[in-house]
A and B are shown apart, each in its own frame.
Chain A
Amino acid sequence: MIHQQHKPLIELRNVSKAYPVASGTFMALNDVSLTIESRKLVAITGKSGSGKSTLLNIITGIDRPSTGSVTISGVKVDKLSETELASWRGKNVGVVFQFFQLLPTLTILENVMLPMDFCNTYSKKERRDKALALLEKVNIKEQAGKFPSALSGGQQQRVAIARALANDPPLLVADEPTGNLDSHTATSIFELFAELAKSGKTVIVVTHEREFSAYFEDTISIADGMVNAQISVHA
Chain B
Amino acid sequence: MRPRYMKVIRDLTSDYSKNLMLVLAIAIGVFGIGSILGGYAVLSREMNANYMSTAPASATIEIDGDISSTLLDSVRTFPGIKKAERRSTIVGRMKVHERWHPILFFVIDDFEKMEISRFRHISGTKIPTEGTMLVERTALMVMGASEGDAITVRTPHGSQQTLKIGGVVHDPALAPAWQEQAGYGYITMATLKALGENSRFDLLRIQVSENEYARQHITQKAEEVADWLKQRGIEIHEIQVPSPGKHPHQSQMEAVLSIFTVFSFMILLLGSILVATSMATLMVKQVRQIGIMKTIGGSSYQISTMYFFMMLVVCVVAILVSIPLSRLAAFGFYTQIAKLLNLEITDSSIPLRVPFIQIASGILIPMIAAAIPLIRGSRVSVRAALDNYGVSTQKVNRWSTFLSRTSLFTDTYRLSLRNVFRQRSRLVLTLGLLAAGGAMFMTALNVSDAWETNLKRIYTQRLYDQEIRLNERLLPDSVFSVIEAIDGVTKVEGWDFASSSIIKDSKYEITKTYPDKGHGSFSIQALPVPTQLLNPTVVEGQWLKTAGSNEVVLNQLARTSEMTIGDDVLLAIDGKPTRWKIIGFTEDVGSPATAYVSITTFAKIAGSSGKVGMLRIAYSDRSRNNSQNKSREIDDVLEDNNIRVSASIPVWLLHNAVAAHMEVLVNSLLAMALLMAIVGTLGLTSTISMNVLERTREIGVMRAIGATPGTIKSLIVWEGITIGVLSIMIAFVVSIAFSYFMGVFIGNISFRTPLTLTISPIAIAIWVVLITVGSYFASVFPARRTNKVTTREALAYE
Check B3–A110 contact: CB distance below 8 A. Answer: yes
**B1-28 interface code vs A (CB 8 A; 1 in, 0 out):** 0111011001100100000000000000
Q: Which residues of B contact A111 (CB under 8 A)?
A: 3
Interface of A is mostly: helix
Give CA–CA (A115, B3) in the complex, Å: 9
On chain A, the residues within 8 Å of B10 by CB distance are 105-106
Residue numbers in B under 8 Å from A164 (CB-CB): 296
Q: Determine whether A82 belongs to the interface, using a CB cutoff of 8 Å to chain B.
A: yes
- B299 adjacent to A87 (CB under 8 Å): yes
Other-chain residue from B14, B296, B382, B383 in contact with A118 (beta carbon distance below 8 A): B296
Q: Is B506 on the interface with A (CB-CB < 8 A)?
A: no
Chain A nearest Cβ from B609, distance in angstroms: 94
B297 touches A115 (CB 8 A): yes
| Chain B residues whose CB sits within 8 angstroms of the CB of A89 once the complex forms | 294-297
Q: Is A83's beta carbon under 8 Å from chain B?
A: yes
A95 at the interface (CB under 8 A from B): yes
Closest residue on chain A to residue B289 by CB atoms? A103
Q: Report chain B residues within 8 Å CB of A113.
A: 3
Is residue A51 contacting chain B, with contact meaning CB distance below 8 A? no
Complex CA gap A91/B294 in Å reads 12
Q: Is B402 an interface residue (CB 8 A)?
A: no
Neighbouring B residues of A163 by C-beta, 8 Å = 296
Complex partner residue of B4 from A62, A117, A167, CB under 8 angstroms: A117
Cα–Cα, bound, A89→B295 (Å):
7
| Docked CA distance A111–B292 (Å) | 11
- Chain A residues 161-176 with CB under 8 Å of chain B are 163-164, 166-167
Chain A residues near B72 (CB-CB < 8 A) = none
The interface on chain A, measured as residues whose beta carbon lies within 8 A of the other chain's beta carbons, has a size of 32
- Residue of A with least CB distance to B381: A82
- Whether the pair B383, A63 counts as a contact (CB closer than 8 A) is yes
Contact A62 B386 (CB under 8 A): yes
Is A118 within 8 A of B6, CB to CB? no
Residue of B nearest to A54 (CB): B383
Q: Is the CB of A62 within 8 A of B301?
A: no
Within 8 Å CB of A167, what residues of B?
297
Known contacts A86-B300, A105-B14, A60 near B4 by CB under 8 Å? no
The answer to the question of A101 belonging to the interface, with a C-beta cut-off of 8 Å to chain B, is: yes
**A window 15-69: CB within 8 A of B:** 57, 60-63
Q: Interface centre among B4, B295, B300, by most A CB within 10 Å? A: B295
Measured CB to CB, the closest approach of chain B to A105, in angstroms, equals: 4
| Residue contact B383 to A86, C-beta cutoff 8 Å | no
Quick check: is A99 within 8 A (CB to CB) of the other chain?
Answer: yes
Structural contact, B7 and A83, CB atoms closer than 8 A: no
Q: From B302, which residue of chain A is reached at the shortest CB distance? A: A118
CB pair B798–A62 under 8 Å, yes or no, is: no
B-chain residues with CB within 8 Å of residue A97 when the two chains form the complex = 292
Known contacts A62-B382, A63-B383, A99-B798, A110 near B6 by CB under 8 Å? yes
Task: Tell me whether B293 and A114 are in contact (CB under 8 A).
Answer: yes
Residues of B within 8 A of A60 (CB): 295
Within 8 Å CB of A95, what residues of B? Answer: 295-296
- In the complex, which residues of chain A have a beta carbon less than 8 angstroms from the beta carbon of B288? 101
Interface residues of B in 740-798 (CB under 8 A from A): 798
Q: Is B124 an interface residue (CB 8 A)?
A: no
Q: How far is the CA of A89 from the CA of B381 in the complex (A)?
A: 14
Question: Could you tell me the distance between the alpha carbons of A86 and B302 in the complex, rounded to whole angstroms?
Answer: 10
Q: Does B294 lie within 8 Å of A86, measured CB to CB? A: yes
Confirm or deny: B351 has a beta carbon within 8 angstroms of a beta carbon on chain A: no
- CB within 8 A of A90: which of B2, B7, B289, B296? B296
Q: Are A86 and B6 in contact (CB under 8 A)?
A: no
Q: Are A118 and B292 in contact (CB under 8 A)?
A: no
Is A105 a contact partner of B297 (Cβ separation < 8 A)? no
Q: A205 vs B378: C-alpha distance in the bound complex, in angstroms?
A: 28
Question: Given that A106-B6, A114-B4 are contacting pairs, would A62 and B383 also be in contact in the complex, using a CB cutoff of 8 Å?
Answer: yes
294-318 of chain B: CB within 8 A of chain A: 294-302
A-B contact count (CB 8 A): 78
Determine the chain B residues whose CB is within 8 A of the CB of A233 once the complex forms.
none
Q: How far is the CB of B647 from chain A (nearest CB, A)?
A: 75
Find the B residue at minimum CB distance from A102: B292
Q: From residue B697, how far is it (CB to closest CB) to chain A in Å? A: 14
How many angstroms from the CA of A114 to the CA of B295 in the assembled complex?
11
What is the CA–CA distance of A65 and B293 in the complex, to the nearest angstrom? 22
* Chain A residues positioned under 8 Å from B298 (CB to CB): 86, 90, 114, 118
- Tell me the minimal C-beta distance from B34 to chain A in angstroms: 32
The one of A62, A86, A106 that contacts B297, using a Cβ cutoff of 8 Å: A86
Question: In the complex, how many angstroms separate the beta carbon of B746 from the nearest chain A beta carbon?
Answer: 50
Residues of the A chain whose Cβ atoms lie less than 8 Å from the Cβ of B294: 86, 89
**A150 in contact (CB, < 8 A):** no
Contacts A62-B295, A83-B301 given; does A103 touch B386 at CB 8 Å: no
**Contact assessment for A83 and B2 in the assembled complex, using a CB-CB cutoff below 8 Å:** no
Q: Does A151 contact B (CB under 8 A)?
A: no
Cα A101 to Cα B296 with chains together (Å) = 11
Contacts of A62 in B (CB 8 A): 295, 382-383, 386
Is A231 positioned at the interface, with any CB of B under 8 Å from its CB?
A: no
Q: Is the CB of A119 within 8 A of B293?
A: no
A106 touches B7 (CB 8 A): yes
- A83 vs B4: C-alpha distance in the bound complex, in angstroms? 17
Q: Bound state CA distance, A182 and B298, in angstroms?
A: 31
Interface centre among B295, B297, B301, by most chain A C-beta atoms within 10 angstroms, is: B297
Q: Is the CB of B3 within 8 A of A106?
A: yes
- Contact yes or no, A91 B297, CB < 8 A: yes
Q: How far is the CA of A61 from the CA of B301 in the complex (A)?
A: 18
A163 to B299, CA, bound (A): 17
Q: From residue 63 to 112 of chain A, which have CB atoms closer than 8 A to chain B?
A: 63, 82-83, 86-87, 89-91, 95, 97, 99, 101, 103-106, 110-111
CA distance A95 to B385 in the complex (A): 15
CA distance A99 to B386 in the complex (A): 11
| B383 and A103 contact, CB distance less than 8 A | no
CB pair B2–A82 under 8 Å, yes or no, is no
Residues of A within 8 A of B299 (CB): 82-83, 86-87, 118
Chain A residues contacting B289 (CB-CB under 8 Å) are 103
CB-nearest residue of chain A to B383? A63
Give chain B nearest CB distance to A161 CB in angstroms: 12
Contact B296 A115, beta carbon cutoff 8 Å: yes
* Distance from B250 Cβ to chain A, minimum over Cβ atoms (Å): 54
Give B288's nearest chain A residue, CB to CB: A101
Chain B interface (Cβ < 8 Å from any Cβ of A): 2-4, 6-7, 10-11, 14, 288-289, 292-302, 379, 381-383, 386, 798
**Residue positions of A touching B, CB distance < 8 A:** 57, 60-63, 82-83, 86-87, 89-91, 95, 97, 99, 101, 103-106, 110-111, 113-115, 117-119, 163-164, 166-167
Known: A82-B299, A89-B295, A114-B298. 7 other contacts (CB 8 A): A82-B381, A86-B294, A105-B10, A110-B7, A111-B3, A114-B4, A118-B296
6 inter-chain pairs at a CB distance below 8 angstroms, sorted by A residue, are: A83-B299, A105-B11, A114-B7, A114-B296, A117-B3, A118-B296
The 5 closest A-B pairs by CB, nearest first: A90-B297, A105-B10, A118-B297, A115-B296, A110-B3
